[in-house]
Copies of this chain bind each other. A is one copy, B any other.
């Protein structure tokens, strides 16, 4: 039967532990023993639930992507055009990554080391999202509802402004006094991103 939605079955515990380990140390830097130990079993027992390290990794990413897709669907509601829509997308993206910081770090690991979900494979998922964002921006710029910019680079800048903050948080901690992931600093960052893009985008 469906083994999901029981208490926290071993398999689900393993997925959570693996997500945190992969996010913290990347694919190559994570050992199956550590993950198994987090859950309180031995490594071979882990391999009873997932046939290989790579399979476990893919399962983790599949979980995260599911949440990601739900965000995209959710973004279909809300304002339809102009800056209000751009703002809504920025806000939703910020909030999503705020709540899925592990995904941010896994993305960065993938981009850097090219994990088993090779860059190409990951890019296949990101490509349509990227194209949709570019199309939206170009349409709004053509209509004069947004200031004209290089749409492709604009999307990259937007993602970078959000992703970098979360992925570089450990480094930023040593740069500023407050915890960059604390509620006050997160609010401050969110407002900055919105204000900054509005200043550049609203005609």
Contact = CB atoms under 8 A, between A and B. Distances in A.
A113 B29 contact: yes
A172 B156 contact: yes
A160 interface: yes
Nearest to A107: B171
Contact of A119 (B113, B174, B195): B174
A187 to B, nearest CB: 11
With most chain B CB atoms within 10 A of its CB, the pick from A109, A156, A165, A173 is: A156
A16 to B, nearest CB: 20
- Report the contact-size class of chain A (Cβ under 8 Å from the partner): 35 or more
Contact of A160 (B25, B161, B191): B161
Contact of A114 (B119, B130, B170, B196): B170
Given A29-B28, A126-B175, A172-B156, A149 B195 contact: yes
Contacts of A171: 110-111, 119, 122-123, 126
A112 B166 CA distance: 10
Q: Is the interface of A mostly helix, strand, loop or mixed?
A: helix
Contacts of A130: 175
A195 to B, nearest CB: 7
A191 B153 CA distance: 10
A163 interface: yes
A132 to B, nearest CB: 12
12 contacts: A25-B113, A26-B28, A112-B112, A122-B174, A126-B174, A127-B174, A127-B175, A147-B199, A153-B188, A160-B165, A199-B199, A200-B200
Interface of A: 25-26, 28-29, 105, 108-114, 119-120, 122-124, 126-127, 130, 147, 149-150, 152-154, 156-157, 159-161, 163-165, 167-168, 170-176, 188-189, 191-193, 195-197, 199-200
The 5 A-B residue pairs with the shortest CB-CB distance, nearest first, are A123-B174, A160-B164, A153-B192, A199-B200, A200-B200
